[in-house]
Amino acid sequence: MITYDLDKASSILTVHPESSLDKDDFDQMAKAIDPEIEAHGDLAGLIINAQAFPGWDSFGAMVTHFRFIRDHQKHIKKVAVVTDSHMGDAAEHLASHFVSAEVRHFPADHVEQARQWISDGP
């Protein structure tokens, strides 16, 4: 399960994975952000605020997640991974090979720093 908040004023999507991800998580996020992208263009950024990566509840959920990334990565300028998990470091280095967004890792509890980095622009 993912909770998310789209701040339309700053064009920043914040997601918080809470338990195993399922297909509906990505369908619901797409319904929330696709109209915003259509109406106003790319999102300034995405903040992934996670203690740890919770995994997927099924193979279908994993495939849906990868499709979501494929379909949306070109519409997000910056991605901030806010976590103390070592996955944050890996995400920062690996993501650059798969997404067009600039990716940066921030320690847990530094959500506002991440938001400021995104807001500072390119």
SS (H, E, C) 47-107: EEECCCCCCECCHHHHHHHHHHHHHHHHHEEEEEEECCCCHHHHHHHHHCCCCCCEEEEEC
Maximum distance among all Cα pairs of the chain, rounded to whole angstroms: 37
CA dist., res. 33 & res. 43, Å (int): 9
For residue 86, what pLDDT is reported? 65
Report pLDDT digits (tens) over 7-46: 999 999 999 998 899 999 999 999 989 999 999 899 999 9
For residue 107, what pLDDT is reported? 92
CA dist., res. 76 & res. 68, Å (int): 12
Domains of the chain: 2-119 (3.30.750)
Res 93 pLDDT > 60:
no
